[in-house]
Amino acid sequence: MDEWMNRDWRGTLLRQAAALLGACLLVGLVTGEYGWALALGLGLQVAWTTRQLLRLRTWLQTQRLDEPPPESHGLWGDVLDNLYHLQRRHQRARDRLQAVIDRVQESTTALKDAVVLLDSDGNLEWWNPAAETLLGLKTSHDSGQPVGNLIRHPRFKEYVEQANYREPLDLPSPLSDRLRLQFHFTRYGNGEHLMLVRDVTRLHQLEQMRKDFVANVSHELRTPLTVIAGYLETLIDNAEDVNPRWRRPLQQMQQQAGRMQNLLNDLLLLAKLEATDYPSDNQPVHMEPLLRSIKADALALSAQRAHRFTLDVEPGIDLKGSEAELRSAFSNLVFNAVKYTPDQGEIRIRWWGDEQGAHLAVQDSGIGIEARHLPRLTERFYRVDSSRASATGGTGLGLAIVKHVLLRHRGRLDISSVPNHGSTFTCHFPPAQIARQAS
Ligand code: ADP
């Protein structure tokens, strides 16, 4: 194509030059002044070329490029025609792209979920109308603002800083506490982010109803159960007044009432843990005395079963949080080790710190757990073997409580186990959760 155009241009040029030269020769022949005729011809050519250039410049300057360029002929006509075609091609490509953009914008406008584009610095770049209703973004004010200026919840800030977007984030809307939103972040391009926000108010309400129901039932059952357990205890204490045939049933009733009380206590504790995101306490919890007292309780629980305990505590490292919650989580792990380790087995409790944070490991030489159960172990009422549970009197809620307490202390639980060789439950806490004692 280029070669063809070059050849054609060359012909046109030659033809024009020949016509000019011919005209000059003719004028020279008539006037006898060949030199002047040539100079006049060249002058006219320069003047015409300059005029075409000026027309092109004016056309380019007016920026009305959708209008055809000025008419011309010869080489200039070619140049202007080619410019015009090029420009029409660009125009068509731009129209096609604009149509694609319009369609994408139309479809995101129709979405009920908010779609927000953030640039690599986390500033708001573009959003759909749903973002205005869910998050209250306003085009005139908020374009180019850091997203953290508009969603000021501390958990949002922490989530964005940690940049771990595997799990979505649930938060109340900045517009109203009654609106519950779920944030999904996706990284794309050059460090830019796509933020998808869904209204999960209905789901949240259902979840809340479930939690309230469990908490209320547990609460309501507590008083009648306390009365029943109290009378059973009185009857058993006065065993001589009771028909001997009733002694064993009474003891079994007392045992089961005790289990029910443990269950209700655990359910109430879980409901309390779920009610807020973070513990109300954020005091340094001294780990050494806490672990010593848990070990003493575990020794009492082990009693005749003569487990061998070791406790290694790295001094000077404490945790920020709620002592009551941490005690409950750590004792659950240690008591499980006692429950699921045969007599005379070994139980090792270790607390240490490193650059990744602080860690508590509870290791036992007990019956262990098959790998297939490990991912589900922290689910409520999940039991490896229901006969084990009735033998040990467990509620099936212990590890669910551990998981919740750890979440509230920004920690996580790691479980490794080999059947018949033992298990290790390790709690990992990030450096931000450590309170170091001044030495
Ligand atoms: P439970 O009250 O039944 O002990 P948990 O939630 O504390 O409930 O534990 C769930 C299940 O995990 C238990 O039923 C038990 O089968 C298993 N498990 C927990 N800790 C251990 C352990 N140290 N060794 C072996 N199995 C364990």
Span from the CA of 383 to the centroid of ligand 1 (angstroms): 7
Which residue has the CA at smallest separation from atom 8 of ligand 1? 396
Do 188 and 253 share a domain, yes or no?
Answer: no
Q: Is the CB of 328 under 6 A from ligand 1?
A: no
Give the containing element (helix H, strand E) for 290.
Answer: helix 287-302
Identify the domain boundary among 44, 73, 105: 105
C-alpha–C-alpha distance, residues 198 and 195, integer Å: 10
C-alpha–C-alpha distance, residues 386 and 397, integer Å: 13
Across the range 115-136, mean pLDDT stands at: 92
Do 320 and 423 share a domain, yes or no?
Answer: yes
Do 263 and 401 share a domain, yes or no?
Answer: no
Span from the CA of 396 to the centroid of ligand 1 (angstroms): 7
Identify the domain boundary among 105, 125, 149: 105
Do 314 and 413 share a domain, yes or no?
Answer: yes
C-alpha 343, offset from chain centre = 45
Do 385 and 417 share a domain, yes or no?
Answer: yes
Name the least confident of 28-37, 125-134, 184-193: 28-37
Identify the domain boundary among 248, 275, 302: 275
Instruction: List pLDDT tens digits, range 334-353.
Output: 999 999 999 999 999 999 99
Q: Is the CB of 388 under 6 A from ligand 1?
A: yes
Q: Is the pLDDT of residue 14 over 70?
A: yes
Instruction: List pLDDT tens digits, range 190-206.
Output: 989 999 999 999 999 99
pLDDT of residue 436: 82
Question: What SS3 string covers 53-106?
Answer: HHHHHHHHHHCCCCCCCCCCCHHHHHHHHHHHHHHHHHHHHHHHHHHHHHHHHH
Contacts of 104 (CB under 8 A, 6+ apart): none
CATH of the domain at 194: 3.30.450.20
Span from the CA of 419 to the centroid of ligand 1 (angstroms): 13
Q: Is the CB of 345 under 6 A from ligand 1?
A: no
> What are the beta bridge partners of residue 185?
195
CATH of the domain at 375: 3.30.565.10
Q: Is the CB of 331 under 6 A from ligand 1?
A: no
Contacts of 50 (CB under 8 A, 6+ apart): none
Q: Is the CB of 273 under 6 A from ligand 1?
A: no
Name the least confident of 205-209, 237-241, 323-327: 237-241
Span from the CA of 37 to the centroid of ligand 1 (angstroms): 111
Do 176 and 304 share a domain, yes or no?
Answer: no
Across the range 85-114, mean pLDDT stands at: 90
Q: Exposed/middle/buried for 108, CB within 10 Å: 0-12, 13-18, 19+?
A: middle
Q: Is the CB of 298 under 6 A from ligand 1?
A: no
The number of domains in the chain is 4
Q: Both ends of the chain: CA-CA distance in Å?
A: 83
Do 60 and 23 share a domain, yes or no?
Answer: yes
Do 118 and 208 share a domain, yes or no?
Answer: no
pLDDT of residue 7: 55
Q: Is the CB of 422 under 6 A from ligand 1?
A: no
Span from the CA of 204 to the centroid of ligand 1 (angstroms): 30
Which residue has the CA at smallest separation from atom 19 of ligand 1? 336
Cα-Cα-Cα-Cα dihedral sign, residues 38, 40, 43, 44: negative
Instruction: List pLDDT tens digits, range 162-173.
Output: 888 988 999 999
Q: Is the CB of 336 under 6 A from ligand 1?
A: yes
Span from the CA of 336 to the centroid of ligand 1 (angstroms): 6
Do 293 and 384 share a domain, yes or no?
Answer: yes
Q: Is the CB of 85 under 6 A from ligand 1?
A: no
Do 89 and 175 share a domain, yes or no?
Answer: no
Domain that holds residue 377: 283-436
- At how many degrees (to 10) do helices 398-408 and 323-339 cross? 150
Q: Is the CB of 69 under 6 A from ligand 1?
A: no
Do 185 and 220 share a domain, yes or no?
Answer: no
Do 195 and 119 share a domain, yes or no?
Answer: yes
Q: Where are the beta strands (DSSP E) in 173-251?
A: 180-188, 192-199
0.85 exceeded by pTM: no
Span from the CA of 292 to the centroid of ligand 1 (angstroms): 22
CATH of the domain at 246: 1.10.287.130
